Amino acid sequence: MELLINKPKRPLWISLFSVVAILFGIATIKEGGTVLFTEAGQKSAGNYVPFVLWFNFFAGFAYIVAGIALYKLKSCSLRLVLVIAISTSIVFILFGLHIFNGGAYEIRTVAAMTIRSSLWILIAATVLRTRALKPINCQY
C-alpha cells in the first residue's frame, strides 16, 4: 500500500525571497570581503564604517543560511529572518548615531543599509504571515 505524504506547497514568494536572500548573501560576502581583506577594496570604499562593514560581511553568511532554510520551508527560517531584520535595523540605528555624532561615512552606505533593512523587514513580515513552513527544527 502506497502512502501519500502531503508535502507543503512552496509559494512563489518563498522561492523568490529564498533566491534573493542567497544572491544577496553571496554579493554581500564578496563585496564586504573585498573591502575588509584587500587594500584596493579599502581605498575604493572611501569612508567606510568598520562595525557596519564587519556586521554586513558576517550577515551575508546568515542571509545564505536563511535563504536555504526558507527554500526548504524550515520553521527556523522565521527565527533567522527575524534576527536578521532586527539586528540589521539595530546596526542601521547605530550607524545613524555614528553619523549624528560627526563620524565619517559614505552616502552609499546609507542607501545600502536602507535597502538591507527594508528587504529583511519585508521578508520577516511576510514569513510571519505564512503557514507554509514545516514545524520542524532546522537540520540539513
Q: How confident is the model at residue 89 (pLDDT cuts 50, 70, 90)?
A: very high
Q: Which residues lie below 8 Å from residue 99, measured CB to CB, with a gap of 6+?
A: 105, 110
Is 134 part of any domain? no
Residue 140 lies in a domain: no
Q: What is the pLDDT of residue 134?
A: 61
Contact 75, 134 (CB under 8 A): yes
Residue 136 has pLDDT above 60, yes or no: no
Domain count, the chain: 1
Structural domain includes residue 133: no
* Domain span including residue 94: 12-128
Answer whether residue 2 shows pLDDT above 70: no
pLDDT at 63: 98
Question: Does 71 fall in a domain?
Answer: yes
For cell 575604493, the residue is 44
- 114 in a structural domain: yes
Provide, rounded to the nearest whole percent, the portion of the chain with pLDDT above 90.
81
In this structure, is residue 38 part of a structural domain? yes
Is residue 26 in a domain? yes
What's the mean pLDDT in 101-111? 97
DSSP track, 87-127:
HHHHHHHHHHHHHHTT----HHHHHHHHHHHHHHHHHHHHH
CA 52 – CA 66 distance, rounded (Å): 20
Assigned domain for 53 exists: yes
